[in-house]
Structure 1
Amino acid sequence: MRSGREPARELIARLASEFTELPGGVTSIGDGPLDWPGYEDQLTRATERTGEREAVVCGVAVIGGTTTVVVAFEFGFLGGSLGTRTGTLIEQAFSHARSLHLPVVSLVMTGGSRMQEGTPTLLQLQRIARQIALTREAGLPHIAVLRDPTTGGGWATLGAGADVVLGLRGAQVGFAGSRVRPPGYSVTQQFAAGLVDQLVPPDELRLRLERWLQLVTTPATEAEVPQALGASTLPETGWEAVQRARAPGRPRAAAYLGAYFDWHEPISGDRCGGVDSGVLCGFGHRNGTTVAYAAQCGSATRPAGFRTAARLVRLADRLGIPVLTLVDTPGAANDAAAEKAGVGAAIADMFTAVASARVPVTTLLIGEGGSGGALAFAAPDRLWATPDSYLAVISPELAAAILKRDPSQVRATADQLRLRPQDLAELGIAQLAQATDQATAM
């Protein structure tokens, strides 16, 4: 068996403990809108071979205790192609999900639009896109699983248009199929380009879906402030605050996420062709509920990092899930590549996402807070600072250089910038984060 290539009903049986197919399925076979010669015979043979009367099986399933609507493609039925009747079944499935306020899981495996039905089948993409838009508007999550292959309109709507995109390892995924542009584009390449959230081995799909469905359906009320993991005493000078924040051994975002969540699942990529490994985004399980997170990891944040974080905030806001952001960056990347990739617009996008969020956004400053690249991740009224962090309009070194001060004045400049955690508290910018018992003992 190739990557995930199994009959739709067998896959559903492997993933779900219960499944009820939706009524209103296809009851007749005809020549289609173009009266394509031999098309009726092709449909008949496809039904005899698969036992299905169309290329999708739709119904209500229970996956890991969460009830969801499932749209599963049957590749054995004319290559899982999208026809006019396929569009009808998918439309019914999404409409049913909205009527019951259920999430949708699309198990996509398709060669694209069905040529025997011509342009009318192409119009199904608009029809499906409309259903995705209405489901988003209703605040319901849509998770897509990319199977082998996922090409054409199926990738450009149900696949790439989902909130969370899981790709089965080894799958061919791309707008052009292998017969159009051999050898085809792989899911690994799509992941590297920031278009797929996770690569999943086929035998791990059930567990991953169970976790994701739990995450997107159990929102917390707000994100609690994490405890400080590093130093427990406040820095005496501004330069000491800077040196602490830059210390290699200081706890970083991964340590905070590990301590804060029972478990978490990442999302990846900005959906524009970029990935920033210095920004971690995703959803985590904490005390039975879900909190979304966007965390800087201490490096200069690149445009893809800001865009991925903005995508995370907007998705969490739409699903009613509170957000935790961790700030730790010397600033936004400002090299030629970052400027060409639109770093200014990307920072603006993140500022706007946080400013417009209706869910609570909680921010913990855990290290360096360099200028607007750091502030873009920060909630205006819910900002806490750890003892080994700082937030400044600019680094002391650059401030001294811009003001044409002697390099020996860098330390004095750090004090004048009032960037220490206690300075931020006195200025009403942030509150001081409580240290853990372990940190207190340090």
Structure 2
Amino acid sequence: MRPSAREVIAQVSTGFTELSDVDNSVDDPLGWPGYREAYAAAAAWTGETESVVVGEALVGATPAVLVVWEFGFLGGSIGRRTGDRVEAAFSLARSRKLPVVALIATGGSRMQHGMRALSQLQRIARASAAARTDGVAQISVLRDPTTGGGWATLGASADVVLGFPLAQVGFAGSRVRPATSPSEAYTVEAKYEWGQVDQLVSPDSLGAVLERWLRLVTSRSSSPAPPPAALRDVSLPSTGWDAVRAARSSRRARAAEYVDAYFDWHELLRGDRTGAVDDGVLCGFGWRDGRALAFAAQCGTATRPAGFRTATRLVRLASRLGIPVLTLVDTPGAANDAAAEEGGAGPAIASLFDAIATATVPVTTLVIGEGGSGGALAFAAPDNTWIAPDAYFSVTSPEAAAAILKRPMMEVPATADQLRLRPQDLVELGLARGIVEA
């Protein structure tokens, strides 16, 4: 048994105040045979007058506008009155500067309303976009099922997408998809694997997770993130090759360790929203010293196109929400295989350069390991980059530089010295503001 909309509201919030100035009359634009009787039966069964319930409530200590689907009302289908209520919810959010949480359970558009029903998707998209322009944060929760226009508007377009395990999620509902299509493709787990859902959340923990996310996305700040302290007490390298070996050491601290040490707690975003995930890039929002900061961290692998696109998504979202950004640089370089080229490595890197260049919030960078070529530089803040004592930053790796210059491999260490890639060299050259200490 699916919980009702009212049960979901009670589970995640307190003090719910429903919007009252909505039209509760029956809308029957096509005069569909039997529709009024089906509507009356749905109203009697659920106690609702439409497929969504909207209003304002507290999620933890954060006020938010809730848009909650009632699947028991004609399968949660979207009709004109649904569009009316969703539009009213976003209007309230814009006027009160409140985040919107959409808890979705819908089979799609209401067939008995024909194209009138389908056109509500345009209204919903327009209302959501206007709120986004005003800096309104949006979180969606994919309940079972989330299909059709509910997934392709509020579900997939939200800043943060959460999903219930085993939920059916897809543009095509179960009755209209090709019979030969594997059912696994229409699950929330598949969407998570493909980077279209950020987190899988059990219904029992949803309230706590929403409370954390709402604290994060509503915490605006104008001061830059301070650079993290070094996590290893090591001496500065004597030579360029020593710097490279220190950065490549298995004993050096990695991004996950820096994130855990820097934040009191954090939540992760996943994937580029176009079907790919790079597990070598860690993105999300964390809580530190009473405020939220966004972070995009390379984890020591060659960064793939999806990693650059996910970081771009993070930086642009943080800019819109007024949340400063911390980036951690650690990569031998951008992935340069054929799959990376086919996946759009160049455009993906360009998009991240653009996102950081045009960011309206301060960006702070710490190089924590290898800083290899443009794949590392794309993550770096032009005027606020710091470096750890066991890291380096270079136009390319010493091995690649030697190959480009047609030098024998025995000259790689000397090439590393000539590249002046040590932390102290980068400070002297004005490419880093300073070397962080443990």
> What TM-score, normalized to structure 1?
0.96
1:99 aligned residue = 95
1:32-431 equivalence runs, <5 A: 32-181=28-177, 183=183, 185-220=186-221, 221-431=223-433
Q: How far off is 1:423 after superposition?
A: 0.5
> What is the rounded CA distance, in whole Å, between the counterparts of 1:149 and 1:433 in structure 2?
51
1:208-260 per-position Cα deviation (integer Å, ceiling 9, x unaligned)? 00000011111333211111112432100000000000001100001100110
Q: Give the structure 2 partner of residue 13 of structure 1.
A: 10
- Residue 440 of structure 1 corresponds to which residue in structure 2? none
Distance 1:120 1:354 in 2: 41
Query: Aligned Cα RMSD in Å?
Result: 0.9
Q: Is the 8 A contact 2:329 2:379 kept in 1?
A: yes
Asked if the contact 1:94/1:104 (under 8 Å) is kept, the reply is yes
Contact 1:278 / 1:299 at 8 angstroms: preserved in 2? yes
Using the aligned pairs only, state the percent identity: 64
Partner residue, 1:439: none
CA distance in 2, matches of 1:427, 1:239: 18
* Secondary structure in structure 2 of the residue aligned to 1:435: coil
Moved over 4 A (4+): none
- Cα pair 2:163 2:200 within 8 Å, conserved: yes
Deviation at 1:409, TM superposition (A): 0.7
Q: CA deviation at 1:374?
A: 0.1
Shift of 1:25: 2.6
C-alpha deviations, 1:266-310, integer Å up to 9, x for none? 000101100000000000000110000000000000000000000
Query: Per the alignment, in what secondary structure is the counterpart of residue 275 of structure 1?
Result: coil
Summarize deviations over 1:175-209 as a string: whole Å, max 9, x none. 00111126460000001111001111111101100
SS at match of 2:157: coil
For residues 260 and 193 of structure 2, what CA distance do their matches in structure 1 show? 24
Conservation of the 8 A alpha-carbon contact between 1:387 and 1:432:
no
Q: Is the 8 A contact 1:7 1:75 kept in 2?
A: yes
Q: Distance in 2 between matches of 1:433 and 1:73?
A: 52
Distance in 1 of aligned mates of 2:435 and 2:324? 19
Structure 1 stretches lacking a partner, 5+ long: 437-442
Q: Deviations over 1:383-415 (max 9, x none)?
A: 000100101111111111111112111110000
Gaps of 5+ in 2: none
Separation in 2, partners of 1:434, 1:85: 57
The offset of 1:14, in angstroms, is 1.0
Match of 1:27 among 24, 28, 36: 24
CA-CA distance at 1:29 after TM superposition: 2.0
User: Normalised by the size of structure 2, how large is the TM-score?
Assistant: 0.97
Instruction: Indicate if the aligned counterparts of 1:242 and 1:389 stay in contact, CA closer than 8 A.
Output: yes
Shift of 1:11: 0.6
Letter in 1 for 2:22: G
1:26, CA displacement in angstroms? Answer: 3.2
Query: 2: distance between equivalents of 1:232 and 1:239?
Result: 16
For 2:186 and 2:238, the matched residues in 1 are separated by 55
Cα deviation for residue 432 of structure 1 reads 2.4
Residue 434 (structure 1) shift = 2.6
| Cα distance in 2, alignment partners of residues 332 and 22 from structure 1 | 50
Aligned letter for 2:272? Answer: D
Asked if the contact 2:327/2:363 (under 8 Å) is kept, the reply is yes
User: CA–CA distance in 2 between the matches of 1:231 and 1:285?
Assistant: 25
